Amino acid sequence: LYVEPDLALGGAVALQKEQSLYLAAVLRKVVGDEVVLFNGRDGAWRTRLTSDSKKSVTLEVVEQVAAQTPPSELWYGFAPLKTERLDYVIQKATEMGAGIIQPVLTRYTQVSRLKHDRLVANAIEASEQCEVLTVPVVAPETTLEKLLSTWGAEQGDRQLILADESEASASPVEQVAALRGQKVGLLIGPEGGFSEEERQVLRAQAFVTPVSLGPRILRADTAAVAGLALIQAIIGD
């Protein structure tokens, strides 16, 4: 379970109302039961319930069970999708080990107003489910134009893998393997794809590697999972 407070041996943690209700009423935890907590900073800790009140569960911190992992360098940029698919890509990007999740508004992006809190909540929930101790950073949305003009300054020497269904190269595995040892990002377009102009501008950048994810057009959410799996299988992070 993800919590805000610091976690240290012998410390006490009081849960908020919603999490108390979840532990006491849904999971039926009672005094003496154990729960693993993490906060994205102090690793994972075994804790024991000292109160099982549905309004305010408290726990004592018993033992560290995992050290904090360093944040992942993998950057994932995507054009925002409609609600359910948006929730899905945040969950999957978190599971697949993205460290920075960046919504990018493009010409054909249909969704421009994002509920940032909801995206963060999705990243936290996926982290809880998949034991990701460092919750990815969900950055505020930016435009493709701004992203490209600040790429070097903000992303350093990170290479950008552009998922591009028009890419003719038949060897995405070799293309990604050639980036081993470098920080990388993955950029996925919107439901309507990138405009021809956007695609040209992107492909002209020295830091961009256009990669095909196979001969079929994938949905943007499927392309995200396929692209992140390709990167993790070859480079890992």
Contacting residue, 31, 219, 229, 236, with ligand SAM by CB under 6 A: 219
What does the DSSP 8-state code read for residue 2?
Answer: B
The minimum distance between CB 50 and ligand SAM, in angstroms, equals 48
Q: Does 61 bind ligand SAM (CB under 6 A)?
A: no
213 binds ligand SAM (CB under 6 A): yes
CA 31 to chain centroid: 34
- Looking at the Cβ atoms of 61 and 81, the one nearer to ligand SAM is 81
Binding mask 81-120 for ligand SAM (x = CB under 6 A): ----------------------------------------
Least CB distance from residue 217 to ligand SAM, whole Å? 5
Q: Which is nearer to ligand SAM, 38 or 76 (CB)?
A: 76
Close Cβ partners of 115 (under 8 Å, ≥ 6 residues apart):
none
Euclidean distance between CA atoms 3 and 9, whole angstroms: 15
Q: Which two tokens stand for residue 48?
A: 């024991």
Which one, of 43, 68, 58, 67, lies nearest residue 11 by Cα?
58
Phi, psi of 111 (to 5 degrees): -115, 120
Binding site for ligand SAM (CB under 6 A): 163-165, 188-189, 191, 193-194, 212-214, 216-220, 223
